[in-house]
Amino acid sequence: MADMAETTAAWTLHPDRMLPAEPTERAIARRLYSHVKDLPIISPHGHVPPEWIAQDLPFHDPTSLLLSPDHYVCRLLHADGVDLADLGMGAATSGRALDADGARRAWRIFCERWPLYRGTPSRYWMETELVEIFGVTQRPSAQTADAIYDQIAACLADPAYRPRALMDRFDIALIATTDDPCDDLRHHRALADEGYPRRVLPTFRPDRYLEPARPDWPALVAALGHASGIDTGRYAGYLAALENRRAYFKDHGAVSTDHSHADVVTLSLTDAEASAIYAAALAGTATEQQCTAFRRHMLVEMARMAVEDGLVMTLHPAVARNHHTAAFERFGADVGFDIPISVEFTRGLQPLLERFGTAAGFHLVLFTLDETTFSREIAPLAGVYPSVYAGVPWWFIDAPEAIRRFRGAVTETAGFSRTSGFIDDTRAFCSIPARHDMSRRLDCGFLARLVAEHRLDEDEAADTAYDLVATNPRKVFKL
Amino acid sequence: MADMAETTAAWTLHPDRMLPAEPTERAIARRLYSHVKDLPIISPHGHVPPEWIAQDLPFHDPTSLLLSPDHYVCRLLHADGVDLADLGMGAATSGRALDADGARRAWRIFCERWPLYRGTPSRYWMETELVEIFGVTQRPSAQTADAIYDQIAACLADPAYRPRALMDRFDIALIATTDDPCDDLRHHRALADEGYPRRVLPTFRPDRYLEPARPDWPALVAALGHASGIDTGRYAGYLAALENRRAYFKDHGAVSTDHSHADVVTLSLTDAEASAIYAAALAGTATEQQCTAFRRHMLVEMARMAVEDGLVMTLHPAVARNHHTAAFERFGADVGFDIPISVEFTRGLQPLLERFGTAAGFHLVLFTLDETTFSREIAPLAGVYPSVYAGVPWWFIDAPEAIRRFRGAVTETAGFSRTSGFIDDTRAFCSIPARHDMSRRLDCGFLARLVAEHRLDEDEAADTAYDLVATNPRKVFKL
Amino acid sequence: MADMAETTAAWTLHPDRMLPAEPTERAIARRLYSHVKDLPIISPHGHVPPEWIAQDLPFHDPTSLLLSPDHYVCRLLHADGVDLADLGMGAATSGRALDADGARRAWRIFCERWPLYRGTPSRYWMETELVEIFGVTQRPSAQTADAIYDQIAACLADPAYRPRALMDRFDIALIATTDDPCDDLRHHRALADEGYPRRVLPTFRPDRYLEPARPDWPALVAALGHASGIDTGRYAGYLAALENRRAYFKDHGAVSTDHSHADVVTLSLTDAEASAIYAAALAGTATEQQCTAFRRHMLVEMARMAVEDGLVMTLHPAVARNHHTAAFERFGADVGFDIPISVEFTRGLQPLLERFGTAAGFHLVLFTLDETTFSREIAPLAGVYPSVYAGVPWWFIDAPEAIRRFRGAVTETAGFSRTSGFIDDTRAFCSIPARHDMSRRLDCGFLARLVAEHRLDEDEAADTAYDLVATNPRKVFKL
């Protein structure tokens, strides 16, 4: 039967894909979905490079557009025995960018292994991209790889496939990028200066600057001093420099800061304690314990600044980054070797929430890769603190079954109003509409079940489906 | 579409609510449910004040009956920005009881925010209460708030809405309250003395008396000495006093003791060790570590006493109580700021179960707010120790999706016979029938799926549905 | 209604049992299942004694065949108050083997308590065994116990019910046993020597030999020295002896080694450190901490040897063995008192995977009893490391709801290709076909839902259903 995978049936997208199979539920879900399917995309967190939009340069080839930047796709190929270098991953680090032949070979590798993706969201997203955006009509396989490659390459030569044309076609009303605090945000400024009508916002991502245990931390705080024009030789200057860069980001349209450390334990040091650790860390004499305390203290400081400047704070902690050193050394970070670990929010965030949990205007969005916290911690916190929102699944678990589990676990304690709206969190630009569409279909399916079980009236479900797409992200991210 | 939420369609309860949508399953579930829907309510754990029933006083107003005592309802309003004081919460602590205008305003706040509850059990319970008990026919909203308030208020003036009339109407055969070990249980005694035909039982809840780290612990053990007439100046007297009060409770009808500490680690100190820590704790010189050891030791002592006096022991550990100090100081405990944490049963309970796990007549019911323990620890323990029962979800997770997850996670290892029967655990008196009805519907739905998938015969499912309502609670709680 | 359980309706197996109830899904599932239902059984891990097959001795009686060796069945009876001795459990340890009357009495105890198993996999397996293998047509109960016993006993007297006839009838193409490293594997050798056409493989299970904290460890390493003919007085000899026994197992057909310790923390000691601890442990002077470090180091050594000799390495950690000492003393190990605890893979395995995660030919299969690791750790690891596979649920959670949760939690990150294929892990020989059939039905049901929701095409689903039964176990276990 192995050859059944090779079948090249005409390929289409079923209009009811990802809706529940049960006919009553499906009929309701279809009606709910019809109201939200064409709403503009709001993407308050992701990793698309802003220069793509600012410079509107054409995409180079199918592989560098669709494969190399997508670590979900590449990691499963790696597990199947493919060398990441053959996929063009980590080209900057490995010094091995793919040439035209290499790009085509990578695409063949991917198409031959298309069965690997059965049951994964990468499958749904890629299928949607290929069919909807590029008009592909054959399932990927060894036989069809070249023809699909040529078809996409031909599209990419067409101005209709440049980033801004796709921004229009995808109807992305707002997209946030993720940026280093020292970034000059020139691309965001250029877009604003020219009056580009779709919002492209930066996001302040200071993790590295808050972790004095890193070997490159002294260089980072020096760079922070340079970027802010504030001497970071002492703790007070460091705080002022961070505040300065936050303000700079806010001036360039930022609405949020994003944080991902090994845990979310928080604590408040005194100024004297923090200053002393800061000095020791710069001098290279701080202990690991001191560095950890400082990092945890700084998360509270980030909350304090958020209360003051109004930027929304998002957390997605507890990932063992670069799990395989050899892969990190060859390919750099973000190549699929980040593995989740368990996390604790209730006790960890208590010091932060004691101080700012009910502060006016403070928004703290809790994302997790550890589903055990959905019903045990995140929903109970979001269901009582006016500052806390439950972030939807966005990494590893941004997939149909997991999103259903999320709604099933969070809604009963926190309802729908305390959730963030969909986050795509992606570098894979062409997958953005597929991801948001998937979320809309799944939420409509969840709501349809509530209606079919007479737990919600259909007008309420329609209202909620609309809110999840249009109201919640605007409210939670202050858009 | 926001205005769709304002629709005031005629409001009814669908007879199939919360049953599965799939027609085959629904038909089976309907048949199963028809056999159990009218069985009397057995409520072996809850928080209804016994004086309500003993004195049969009329309820005051809709807000103090339906809103203020329900922290599920109030906590989501708080998350939405409402001040708990405006809901009449913590009136004793805050000194701000609501007057008539305040009660009406609170009701309006609630009705305006009715959409917050979509998908939550509070929505199902409140809807059922309003429609079934008070005959409300309009969905709560800003427009309907006053009319609904008036309608309920009019009911409350009617003797048919006094507690005992409702006890009859709800057909509550047995209800347990939760009581302090020093309570004189006068209301329970009065009910017994007058021969009130429905059973109203006290429950022995000694948590505070077992935690020497509390600042008020010396005062508590002094009170215990006073209530028991036994000198609690030394450890032996303290044990005797606890045994005395347990006996007092048992004499007044108690069948169980209830325990909720930060964890369920157990250990046995020697008499000399326990005596020394006891003395140190009274003198204010015990260390935190000693206090914790003593508390863990006392949980084993509670099991020992349970083996001796036959009272059932229920545990529901691992909640970070009063997570927000400012809220605690303004409103006191139990206002929605208790947040679950993870818990470990297997290793923690091992010392206790080594001693008493197979003791004749010992019953230990394990409840949890941490769903990860359902399949990993609770079901395996309940599936082998004759003393251990799996408690159904009763706090935060006493909701449709979570109850389905509970059955899905526990049944395959422990079956149905090792589970506790439904627990409502509520202060919200009028929600009791809705909660029990919900549980019956969900269990019938779960059983119906087993039948529809040919994993159980329908006669067996009917038998099990009956047992879960009528047999299990009687067996587990020795009623 | 209690008497409904006593009904003795004619008993048959529904052809659609365990398939989804929803008609569209069921129709697809039926088609998928029709392609895989008759494929031969591959059982790469289990506990059937090899002498049963080698000697082809007739089974003695229904109880010793169907009850006593099945701790799932016995543990629920124990929870219901039955003495394990009355079930013939732990006969070797207790010295109380059942006589003919005792065996019949045990069977009656079981049949009277048949309702205990509702909703458990034991129920489905036993039902399938009784109906399919022994032709039973009445549901077990007090009334039918003796007749069923007699019917099975009559079968067992028939040569068609000897082990090899059943191997043929069940179409078990390959079965692995679990064996002590010092075992001489005479039964496996005898089977090979005679040219028995079905593969019966040993599995190397060295746990005891890797745990120097055990009181019997010095005796165990002495036995290892004896079995290998290599002096184990020093660490180097110990390693050589383990390598020698692995080679012996491989020569006798072994394809894998199996490991279950309290955790999966790994670390690498230097040769000097390991040698020193080894010497201290033999001398009885090693600390608990040293013993734990040695055990964790040895798991890495097992991986090193696996890279060298090609044996597949399977882990299923984190069970509190022999939770109740009194039961252990009366009945020995493996009588149902092993209780799962939580486990951590991401950090724990990092040292091992840093060294061998991408080593050519290395296979590491991660099983767990802690479902929280499915989506958080196991799927992310199996989805990127070419050596790591996600093992299917095999202990406590080898049941319909849990298997569905497994597929729902693992597939979206790791797909189907990174999973192990079904493992029955059983001593209950007659339950093997029922267990594998259950798995096939459930996987077809899961795939059918993907098809019905238009997330997979049916030809792909058929291909995957085949792979899960026929391709994956062969690939993962190198068969």
pLDDT digits (tens, 9 = 90+) for B143-185: 999 999 999 999 999 999 999 999 999 999 999 999 999 999 9
Is residue A143 located within the same domain as residue A211?
A: no
Which secondary-structure segment (H or E) carries C43?
strand C41-43
pLDDT at B92: 67
Average pLDDT over residues A307-318: 98
Average pLDDT over residues B241-253: 98
C80 touches chain B (CB under 8 A): yes
User: Is residue C38 in a domain?
Assistant: no
All chains having 3 or more CB pairs closer than 8 angstroms to chain C: A, B
Q: Which residues of A touch B13 (CB under 8 A)?
A: 454
How many Cα atoms are found within 13 Å in the side-chain-facing hemisphere of A158? 12
Instruction: Please judge whether B379 and C370 are an interchain contact, meaning their C-beta atoms are less than 8 angstroms apart.
Output: no
> Cβ–Cβ contacts within 10 Å for residue C471, how many?
17
Q: Are C335 and C90 in contact (CB under 8 A)?
A: yes
CA B134 from centroid of its chain's CA atoms: 24
Nearest-CB residue to B376 (from C20, C124, C340): C340
C326 touches chain B (CB under 8 A): yes
Report the C-alpha gap between A18 and A30 in whole angstroms.
11
**Span C381-426, pLDDT tens digits:** 999 999 999 999 989 999 999 999 999 999 999 999 999 999 999 9
Residue with tokens 């709801």: C401
Separation in Å, CA of B370 to nearest CA in chain C: 11
B100 touches chain A (CB under 8 A): no
Q: Which residues of A touch B33 (CB under 8 A)?
A: none
**Over 50: is that where the pLDDT of A296 sits?**
yes
Report the C-alpha gap between A283 and A273 in whole angstroms.
15
**Span B34-92, pLDDT tens digits:** 999 999 999 999 999 999 999 999 999 999 999 998 999 999 999 999 999 999 887 76
Report the C-alpha gap between C131 and A266 in whole angstroms.
60
A92 pLDDT band, cuts 50/70/90, is low
Which secondary-structure segment (H or E) carries A359?
none
Local structure of A46: helix, strand or coil: coil
Separation in Å, CA of A309 to nearest CA in chain B: 20
Report the C-alpha gap between C281 and C292 in whole angstroms.
11
Residue A187 is classified by DSSP as H
Q: In angstroms, how far apart are the furthest CA atoms of chain A?
A: 70
Report the C-alpha gap between A43 and A161 in whole angstroms.
20
A86 touches chain C (CB under 8 A): no
Which residue range forms the structural domain that includes residue A88? 58-161
Is residue A131 located within the same domain as residue A238?
A: no
All chains having 3 or more CB pairs closer than 8 angstroms to chain A: B, C
B342 touches chain A (CB under 8 A): yes
Instruction: Please judge whether C455 and A124 are an interchain contact, meaning their C-beta atoms are less than 8 angstroms apart.
Output: yes
Is residue C177 located within the same domain as residue C147?
A: no
**Over 80: is that where the pLDDT of C109 sits?**
yes
Report the C-alpha gap between A126 and A63 in whole angstroms.
12
Instruction: Please judge whether B124 and A380 are an interchain contact, meaning their C-beta atoms are less than 8 angstroms apart.
Output: no
Report the C-alpha gap between A400 and A464 in whole angstroms.
19
B380 touches chain C (CB under 8 A): yes
CB proximity list for C414: less than 8 A, separation 6 or greater: A76, A79, C378, C379, C380, C382, C383, C390
Residue A161 is classified by DSSP as G
Q: Closest by alpha carbon to A156, among A88, A65, A69? A: A65
**Span C33-53, pLDDT tens digits:** 999 999 999 999 999 999 999
Q: Which of B375, B444, B450, B475 should one mutate to test binding to chain C, selecting the residue with the greatest count of C CBs within 10 A?
A: B375
Which secondary-structure segment (H or E) carries A43?
strand A41-43
**Over 90: is that where the pLDDT of C90 sits?**
no
Its pTM stands at 0.97
Instruction: Please judge whether A118 and C408 are an interchain contact, meaning their C-beta atoms are less than 8 angstroms apart.
Output: no
Cβ within 8 Å of B, A 30-69:
35
Is residue B119 located within the same domain as residue B219?
A: no
Percentage with pLDDT > 70 across chain A: 97
Separation in Å, CA of C178 to nearest CA in chain A: 29
Report the C-alpha gap between B437 and B422 in whole angstroms.
10
A1 pLDDT band, cuts 50/70/90, is very low
Separation in Å, CA of C422 to nearest CA in chain A: 18
Local structure of A312: helix, strand or coil: strand
Q: CATH number, domain at C135?
A: 1.10.2020.10
Report the C-alpha gap between C204 and C214 in whole angstroms.
19
Instruction: Please judge whether C380 and A325 are an interchain contact, meaning their C-beta atoms are less than 8 angstroms apart.
Output: no
User: Is residue C33 in a domain?
Assistant: no
Is residue B139 located within the same domain as residue B208?
A: no
Closest residue, chain B, to C84 (C-alpha): B384
**Over 80: is that where the pLDDT of A278 sits?**
yes
**Span C157-187, pLDDT tens digits:** 999 999 999 999 999 999 999 999 999 999 9
Q: Which of residues A135, A161, A187 is at a domain's end?
A: A161
Report the C-alpha gap between A191 and A252 in whole angstroms.
10
Amino acid sitting at position A104: R
Phi/psi region, residue C428 (left: phi>0; alpha: psi -120 to 50; beta: rest), is: beta
Q: Are strands A41-43 and C172-176 parallel, antiparallel or unpaired?
A: unpaired
Residue with tokens 């709206």: A421
Report the C-alpha gap between B391 and B423 in whole angstroms.
8
CB proximity list for A248: less than 8 A, separation 6 or greater: A185, A228
User: Is residue A173 in a domain?
Assistant: no
Closest residue, chain A, to C35 (C-alpha): A1
Report the C-alpha gap between C180 and C178 in whole angstroms.
7
Which ipTM did the prediction report? 0.97
Closest residue, chain A, to B71 (C-alpha): A384
Cβ within 8 Å of A, C 437-456:
449-450, 452-456
Number of residues that this document lists for chain B: 479
All chains having 3 or more CB pairs closer than 8 angstroms to chain B: A, C
Phi/psi region, residue A42 (left: phi>0; alpha: psi -120 to 50; beta: rest), is: beta
Q: Closest by alpha carbon to B456, among C450, C401, C312, C190? A: C401
User: Is residue C45 in a domain?
Assistant: no
Q: Are strands B339-340 and B319-320 parallel, antiparallel or unpaired?
A: antiparallel
Say how many domains are in chain A. 2
User: Is residue C20 in a domain?
Assistant: no
pLDDT at A96: 72
pLDDT at C94: 66
Is residue C263 located within the same domain as residue C332?
A: yes
Closest residue, chain A, to B328 (C-alpha): A354
Q: Closest by alpha carbon to C183, among C163, C210, C201, C196? A: C201
- What is the Cα gyration radius of chain B? 23
Transcribe C444-464 into DSSP letters: HHHHHHHHHTTSS-HHHHHHH
Average pLDDT over residues C115-124: 97
User: What are the E-state strand segments in A129-177?
Assistant: 172-176
Residue with tokens 């708030």: B145
> Cβ–Cβ contacts within 10 Å for residue A49, how many?
16
pLDDT at B94: 66
Order across the sheet with A172-176: list the strands: A41-43, A172-176, A199-201
Q: Are C224 and C209 in contact (CB under 8 A)?
A: yes
Q: CATH number, domain at C347?
A: 3.20.20.140
Is residue C432 located within the same domain as residue C348?
A: yes
What rounded mean pLDDT belongs to chain B? 96
Closest residue, chain B, to A408 (C-alpha): B401
User: Is residue B246 in a domain?
Assistant: yes
pLDDT at C36: 98
Residue with tokens 């059944």: A4
Residue with tokens 């997330």: C455
Average pLDDT over residues C14-40: 98
Instruction: Please judge whether C408 and A401 are an interchain contact, meaning their C-beta atoms are less than 8 angstroms apart.
Output: yes
Separation in Å, CA of A273 to nearest CA in chain C: 31
A119 touches chain C (CB under 8 A): yes
Is residue C426 located within the same domain as residue C362?
A: yes
Percentage with pLDDT > 70 across chain B: 97
pLDDT at A8: 47
C351 touches chain A (CB under 8 A): no
Instruction: Please judge whether B453 and C405 are an interchain contact, meaning their C-beta atoms are less than 8 angstroms apart.
Output: no
Instruction: Please judge whether B463 and C4 are an interchain contact, meaning their C-beta atoms are less than 8 angstroms apart.
Output: yes
CB proximity list for B433: less than 8 A, separation 6 or greater: B41, B128, B132, B133, B170
Average pLDDT over residues C285-313: 98
Is residue B83 located within the same domain as residue B229?
A: no
Instruction: Please judge whether A79 and C453 are an interchain contact, meaning their C-beta atoms are less than 8 angstroms apart.
Output: no
Report the C-alpha gap between B233 and B405 in whole angstroms.
48
How many beta-carbon pairs under 8 angstroms link A with C? Answer: 151
Q: Which of residues C113, C132, C161 is at a domain's end?
A: C161
A116 touches chain C (CB under 8 A): yes
Q: Which two tokens stand for residue C108?
A: 């009656």
Percentage with pLDDT > 90 across chain A: 94
Separation in Å, CA of B256 to nearest CA in chain C: 20
Residue with tokens 């992310």: C380
Q: Closest by alpha carbon to C43, among C182, C206, C171? A: C171
Q: In angstroms, how far apart are the furthest CA atoms of chain B?
A: 70
Instruction: Please judge whether B454 and C400 are an interchain contact, meaning their C-beta atoms are less than 8 angstroms apart.
Output: no
> Cβ–Cβ contacts within 10 Å for residue B142, how many?
13
Residue B117 is classified by DSSP as G
pLDDT at A10: 78
Q: What are phi and psi of A319, to 5 degrees?
A: -130, 130
pLDDT at C1: 39
A76 touches chain C (CB under 8 A): yes
Average pLDDT over residues B316-336: 95
A184 touches chain B (CB under 8 A): no
**Span B118-127, pLDDT tens digits:** 999 999 999 9
Q: Which of residues B118, B137, B161 is at a domain's end?
A: B161
pLDDT at B27: 98
Is residue C106 located within the same domain as residue C209?
A: no
User: What are the E-state strand segments in C35-128?
Assistant: 41-43
User: Is residue A307 in a domain?
Assistant: yes
How many Cα atoms are found within 13 Å in the side-chain-facing hemisphere of A288? 0
C4 touches chain B (CB under 8 A): yes
**Over 70: is that where the pLDDT of B3 sits?**
no
Q: Are strands B319-320 and B312-315 parallel, antiparallel or unpaired?
A: unpaired
**Span B375-423, pLDDT tens digits:** 999 999 999 999 999 999 989 999 999 999 999 999 999 999 999 999 9
Is residue B186 located within the same domain as residue B154?
A: no
Nearest-CB residue to C124 (from B455, B459, B460): B455
A78 touches chain C (CB under 8 A): yes
Average pLDDT over residues A164-177: 98
Q: What are phi and psi of B220, to 5 degrees?
A: -65, -45
Closest residue, chain A, to B79 (C-alpha): A386
**Span A181-211, pLDDT tens digits:** 999 999 999 999 999 999 999 999 999 999 9
Is residue A289 located within the same domain as residue A221?
A: yes
Nearest-CB residue to B452 (from C21, C119, C399): C21
User: Is residue C128 in a domain?
Assistant: yes
Q: Are A9 and A131 in contact (CB under 8 A)?
A: no
Report the C-alpha gap between C75 and B382 in whole angstroms.
10
**Over 80: is that where the pLDDT of A47 sits?**
yes
Beta pairing partners, A179 = A204
